[in-house]
């Protein structure tokens, strides 16, 4: 993998190096297009690499179950066939339109000209929602992500949240940690029902209608105070606290480009075209009637976007490229 630093020109510039972006890079190569990929993170894989590399993923065709890091590794290997130019740890800030090209300027001043741009930026730039009681404890026992399970071996772990991340981490840490306690402010959960049932059937202690109101320890976390509605506070040992409270996300500089958006999402048509000429979008960042935000859907949208972008880049090209099995 080569990280490019100088100004360059490509047929298609992909903004976002998550699963959809990586598959877009591969498919651009399949269409005979030169491709560049920009991402504000220093590593390929987007949110999966940053937050869920150990998470098992079940909605990718052909894989009954695949770890996030293994899926990313396969996508990177597949994308390598297109010899993409990577621009990592850099953010696309400015979009300029020419007669038959567009130019994107990155935050380090790098200028990339392209025949078309494909935005696959997921949820955009994101930051974790803070745990009010956790101020000052980050890195001293409090974390927002669980990129690896090994550091939690033999520890008492408290997870705060009721969504998919909280329950996924509770399920995977239960056989590794000494104890796992999951704390949520409501009785209802946002997580997938099957995962909730699995956690309920495990040794994980689930405390609802509750909040973590204090972290205590000498230098690092040693215990937490849990306040339950109408009851005396509980105290649980904890050498690790994971705040899985979701994220604050926005489109960042993309919002200044003039893209039609639905608050956090970019509006596209059935060809994955945005309202701007030569600018397409695919994956979780897109919005259209009936949109379903799954990795599997993003892969299909990537192929649709690249095939239609190929025609925008070269009007003599055809939208349908033929089947890859015939290549």
> 95 — phi, psi (to 5°)?
-115, 130
Tokens found for residue 151: 């550091």
Residue 28 among known ligand-binding residues: no
How crowded is residue 319: how many other Cβ atoms within 10 Å of its Cβ? 11
DSSP string of 139-154? TTTEES--S-SGGGTT
Could you give the angle at the alpha carbon of 59 between the alpha carbons of 42 and 80, nearest 5°? 40
Residue 20 among known ligand-binding residues: yes
46: three-class secondary structure by DSSP: helix
Beta-strand pair 210-216/205-207: unpaired
Q: Which residue has the tokens 């994220």?
A: 247
Instruction: List, in order, residues 6 or more apart from 171 with CB less than 8 Å away.
Output: 195, 198, 199, 202, 204
- C-alpha 204/C-alpha 190 separation (Å) is 17
Beta-strand pair 279-281/111-119: parallel
Residue 110 among known ligand-binding residues: no
Residue 284 among known ligand-binding residues: yes
Residue 26 among known ligand-binding residues: no
Angstrom distances, CA of residue 325 to CA of 25, 27, 322? 18, 13, 9
Give Rg (Cα) of the chain.
22
- Look at residues 45, 2, 34, 76 and name the one whose alpha carbon lies nearest to residue 306: 34
Element of type H or E holding 156: strand 156-160
Residue 47 among known ligand-binding residues: yes
Residue 92 among known ligand-binding residues: yes
- Asked if 301 and 20 touch (Cβ cutoff 8 Å), the reply is yes
- C-alpha 223/C-alpha 214 separation (Å) is 9
Q: Where are the alpha helices (DSSP H) in 86-233?
A: 164-173, 193-200
Residue 177 among known ligand-binding residues: no
Numbered residues of the known binding site for FAD: 20, 39, 47, 52, 92, 126, 284, 325
Numbered residues of the known binding site: 20, 39, 47, 52, 92, 126, 284, 325
């Amino acid at each position: 993998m080569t990280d490019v630093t100088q100004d360059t020109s490509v047929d298609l510039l992909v903004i976002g190096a998550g699963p959809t972006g990586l598959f877009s890079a591969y498919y651009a190569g399949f269409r005979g297009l030169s491709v560049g990929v920009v991402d504000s993170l220093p590593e390929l894989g987007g949110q999966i690499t940053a937050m869920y590399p150990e998470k098992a993923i079940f909605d990718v065709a052909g894989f009954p179950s695949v770890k996030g890091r293994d899926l990313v590794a396969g996508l990177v290997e597949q994308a390598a066939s297109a010899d993409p130019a990577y621009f990592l740890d850099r953010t696309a800030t400015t979009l300029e339109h020419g007669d038959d090209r567009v130019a994107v300027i990155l935050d380090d001043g790098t200028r990339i000209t392209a025949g078309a741009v494909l935005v696959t930026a997921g949820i955009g730039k994101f930051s974790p929602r803070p745990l009010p009681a956790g101020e000052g404890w980050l890195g001293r026992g409090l974390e927002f992500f669980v990129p690896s399970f090994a550091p939690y071996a033999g520890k008492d772990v408290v997870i705060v949240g009721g969504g998919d991340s909280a329950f996924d981490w509770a399920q995977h840490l239960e056989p590794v940690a000494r104890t796992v306690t999951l704390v949520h402010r409501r009785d209802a959960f946002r997580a997938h029902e099957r995962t909730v049932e699995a956690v309920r059937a495990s040794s994980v202690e689930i405390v609802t209608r509750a909040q973590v109101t204090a972290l205590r320890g000498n230098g690092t976390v040693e215990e937490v105070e849990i306040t339950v509605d109408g009851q005396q506070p509980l105290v649980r040992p904890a050498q690790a606290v994971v705040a899985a409270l979701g994220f604050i996300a926005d489109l960042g500089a993309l919002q200044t480009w003039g893209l039609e958006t639905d608050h956090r999402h970019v509006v596209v048509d059935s060809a994955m075209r945005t309202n701007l000429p030569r600018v397409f979008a695919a994956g979780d960042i897109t919005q259209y009637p009936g949109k379903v935000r799954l990795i599997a859907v993003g892969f299909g949208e990537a192929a649709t976007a690249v095939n239609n972008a190929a025609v925008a880049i070269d009007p003599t090209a055809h939208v349908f490229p033929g089947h890859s099995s015939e290549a």
